[in-house]
Copies of this chain bind each other. A is one copy, B any other.
Amino acid sequence: MQLAYSAEEICSIVNPQRMAGATTETVRDIASLSSAATGDLSFLAASKYKAEVGGTKASVVLLPLDYAGGPQPNQLFLFVEQPSLALAKLCARIEQSLWPKPPAGIHPSAHVAAGAQISPHATIGPLCVVEEGVKIGDGTVLIGSVHVGRGAQIGEQCLIMPHGVIGASCVIHNRVRLAGGVVIGSDGFGYEFVKGRHLKVPQIGIVVIEDDVEIGANTTIDRARFSRTVIGEGTKIDNLVQVGHNVIIGKHCILCAQVGISGSATLEDYVVLGGQAGVGGHITLRKGTKAGGQTGVAFDTEPGSFINGTPAIPYMLERRLQVLHQKLPDLFKRVEYLESEIKKTSAAGE
């Protein structure tokens, strides 16, 4: 990053409710309170770091309205309702200046089929392939080397990073963000076992990705056997996640990296899955279910469940069982002792 923001520019972006102190430094980087140096901007995101504000060397600090201390010399405190949101706002501005949106239009090296309907306000970057019947909406950007299959539809203001694949007939709504190497609409994994061989079941359904979804690098979303695989509005999916065919994911879910969802599973709204968690086929995770990392979910869950382990059980129970599991050596000894005592008792009783 090569930033250069004056204190005034920072103020105009984060729009603080109150200020204290002043600095002549230009902000050139962002850092945590403890690692910040002169010229950095820092922030108090969680009250547990409050003690670090007094000693930070940051030139500008974003603080919550109720922070009581004052700045050091040549240091500017900006008081805002939520420092992390103010920071996000600042970073969004920085992002735009670092990597500005490319101009609209179709790069001469892109291959766009005749009859594809590309908005004049969309950007088709170098070496993209856009097949027949594709529609792409206003403000959508394909950075480069993206493949959009026959009849796929992409809405407005989407951002598709290099080497993404949008399979034939798939539908992507608005403000969707796909990271590098994403594959949308790969065939579902379906076979019939006939005479010792796995016969392919053609996968003729599609994938629908609703508004404001974000999908991480090299993640794969299979098309439905028939009908639709759905990623609901506002859901965020991390890198290297697998979503099987006919999976229905609700709104505002979080799937951390390397999660795997087997075919025909249903995730209702606000489900959160930790990294490397797996969900079995045809399972339903009710609204707000949370699962820890590496959890293996084999059964339907109740709304608001918090589960852990393989097979997944309620989180607090799983933690308790882990504690007891680690006491097994002791338990075996205790049982051995009891056995020797019983032997004595029996011997004495004879």
Contacts and interface: CB of A to CB of B under 8 A. Distances in A.
A27 to B, nearest CB: 11
Contact of A345 (B150, B167, B331, B345): B345
With a 10 A CB-CB cut-off, give which of A1, A98, A260 has the most chain B CB atoms.
A260
B234 A197 contact: yes
Interface stretch (A9-17, A59-67, A273-281, A299-307): A273-281
Interface stretch (A49-57, A72-80, A116-124, A202-210): A202-210
Given A180-B186, A338-B339, A244 B260 contact: no
Contacts of A214: 187, 200
Contact of A293 (B95, B217, B280): B280
A126 B129 contact: yes
B88 A199 contact: yes
A234 B99 contact: no
Interface in A140-187: 143-145, 147, 149-151, 161-163, 165, 167-169, 177, 179-181, 183, 186-187
A161 B183 CA distance: 10
A260 B258 contact: yes
Contacts of A109: 109, 111
B165 A163 contact: yes
A4 interface: no
A287 interface: no
A127 interface: yes
Contacts of A212: 197
Contact of A239 (B186, B216, B328): B186
Contact of A129 (B144, B194, B258, B338): B144
Interface string A313-350: 10001001110111111011011001101100110110
Interface string A185-200: 0110101101011111
A332 B331 contact: yes
Nearest to A168: B99
A226 B31 contact: yes
B179 A183 contact: yes
7 cross-chain pairs, A with B, having the tightest CB-CB distances, nearest first: A186-B217, A147-B162, A91-B202, A30-B226, A165-B180, A183-B217, A180-B183
Interface of A: 1, 29-31, 35, 82, 84-85, 87-88, 91-92, 94-95, 98-99, 107, 109, 111, 125-127, 129, 143-145, 147, 149-151, 161-163, 165, 167-169, 177, 179-181, 183, 186-187, 189, 191-192, 194, 196-206, 212, 214, 216-218, 220, 222, 225-227, 234, 236, 238-240, 242, 244, 252, 254, 256-258, 260, 262, 275-276, 278, 280, 293-294, 296, 309-311, 313, 317, 320-322, 324-329, 331-332, 334-335, 338-339, 341-342, 345-346, 348-349
13 contacts: A35-B227, A111-B126, A129-B144, A145-B163, A147-B163, A198-B252, A218-B240, A220-B257, A240-B242, A244-B257, A257-B262, A258-B258, A262-B275
